[in-house]
């Protein structure tokens, strides 16, 4: 009974249930607009069985698709008239699946093109990023400061704030963004360049840091200042916008 020997089974890896379905349709030269659901379901399930045999964990998505296929099959078995009463539209139960398959297939083709491009690009080399040049400010900010970096910086700064005094005087809440903008404008007028981590070190409360951060964002948005980060995870600094024109 042990017929395990002599078989070379090649199990292709699939990206997901849609990938597997497309493969079955292609292999059997089926018409994607008129998929023989019973046959596809049979082959699909035997593939899942093979996966289990080879101890490959069958992802839940594959099982969901198996259920969907059987649902479609059962729907197609119900006489049309009956379906009509239940649902107004006389739609092919396979239609939503077909649409999904087509959309996925399209993106699969595109990703093949992208993979070719990636291969192609790997043969082109540029000058590696030279940070020493940037340090000397020969270059302007070379990438947009993105939200993710800003949030990370903010989190880091929040931890820097001194939280020791448990007992302290309650100060009247006089922090607001407009005041901070004024303060920062004044500061940049004299300093030209402000390192954000240094700037925030002087602040004692979370509220103040938040106000300062919002003030910086507001100023950047209005084009008063330029925020710049010279290297990944590096210092974020701000300087007056007119200065950046002079530098550039």
Partner 1 sequence: MKISEAKQILEALLFVSDVPLKSDKIAQIMEIDAKTVAILVDELKKEYQSREQSFNIREISGGYQFYTLPEYSSWIKKMFAAQENRLSTASIETLAIIAYKQPITRLEIEEIRGVSVSHTIKKLIDKKVITLAGRKKVPGRPILYRTTPFFLKYFGLKDISEMPQLADFKDLLSSAEDGESGE
Choose between 42 and 108: whose C-beta lies nearer to partner 1.
Answer: 108
Tell me how far, at minimum, the Cβ of 126 lies from partner 1, in Å.
Answer: 5
Choose between 111 and 178: whose C-beta lies nearer to partner 1.
Answer: 111
> Contact at 8 Å (CB) between 194 and 184?
yes
Binding mask 66-105 for partner 1 (x = CB under 8 A): ------------------------xxx--x--xxx-xxxx
Please count the residues of this chain forming the interface with partner 1, following the rule CB under 8 A: 54
Rounded to whole angstroms, what are the CA distances from 14 to 37, 58, 66, 104? 20, 11, 15, 13
Choose between 118 and 182: whose C-beta lies nearer to partner 1.
Answer: 118
Distance, in Å, from the CA atom of 55 to the CA atom of 58, rounded to the nearest integer, reads: 9
Select the span of 138-146, 171-179, 203-211, 215-223 touching partner 1 (CB under 8 A): 138-146
Binding mask 34-63 for partner 1 (x = CB under 8 A): -------------------------x-x--
Give the torsion through C-alpha atoms of 131, 135, 137, 141, to 10 deg.
60
Choose between 140 and 182: whose C-beta lies nearer to partner 1.
Answer: 140
- The residues with which 35 forms a beta bridge, in sequence order, are none
Distance, in Å, from the CA atom of 105 to the CA atom of 3, rounded to the nearest integer, reads: 38
Distance, in Å, from the CA atom of 158 to the CA atom of 163, rounded to the nearest integer, reads: 10
> Contact at 8 Å (CB) between 168 and 204?
no
Choose between 11 and 102: whose C-beta lies nearer to partner 1.
Answer: 102
> Contact at 8 Å (CB) between 140 and 244?
yes
Tokens 């939200």 locate to 147
Which of 38, 50, 78, 133 touches partner 1 by CB under 8 A?
133
User: 110 is written with which tokens?
Assistant: 């595109």
Tell me how far, at minimum, the Cβ of 120 lies from partner 1, in Å.
Answer: 7
Is 115 a residue that touches partner 1 (CB under 8 A)? yes
User: 196 is written with which tokens?
Assistant: 């954000």
- Binding footprint of partner 1 on the chain (CB under 8 A): 15-19, 33, 59, 61, 65, 90-92, 95, 98-100, 102-111, 113-115, 117-130, 133, 138-140, 142-144, 146-148, 248
């Amino acid at each position: 009974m042990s017929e395990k020997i002599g078989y070379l089974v090649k199990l292709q890896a699939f990206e997901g249930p849609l990938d597997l379905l497309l493969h079955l349709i292609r292999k059997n030269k089926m018409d994607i607009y008129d998929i023989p659901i019973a046959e596809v379901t049979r082959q699909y399930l035997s593939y899942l069985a093979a996966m289990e045999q080879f101890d490959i964990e069958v992802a839940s998505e594959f099982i969901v698709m198996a259920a969907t296929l059987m649902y479609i099959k059962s729907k197609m078995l119900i006489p049309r008239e009956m379906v009509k009463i239940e649902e107004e539209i006389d739609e092919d139960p396979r239609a939503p699946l077909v649409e999904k398959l087509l959309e996925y297939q399209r993106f699969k083709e595109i990703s093949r093109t992208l993979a070719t491009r990636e291969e192609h690009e790997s043969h082109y080399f540029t000058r590696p990023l030279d940070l020493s040049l940037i340090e000397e400010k020969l270059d302007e900010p070379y990438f947009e400061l993105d939200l993710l970096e800003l949030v990370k910086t903010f989190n880091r700064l929040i931890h820097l704030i001194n939280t020791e005094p448990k007992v302290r005087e309650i100060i009247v809440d006089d922090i607001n963004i407009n005041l901070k903008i004024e303060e920062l404008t004044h500061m940049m007028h004299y300093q030209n360049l402000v390192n954000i981590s240094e700037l925030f070190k002087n602040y004692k409360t979370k509220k103040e840091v938040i106000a300062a951060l919002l003030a910086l964002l507001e100023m950047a948005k209005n084009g008063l200042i330029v925020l710049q980060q010279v290297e990944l995870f590096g210092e974020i600094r701000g300087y007056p916008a007119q200065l950046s024109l002079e530098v550039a």
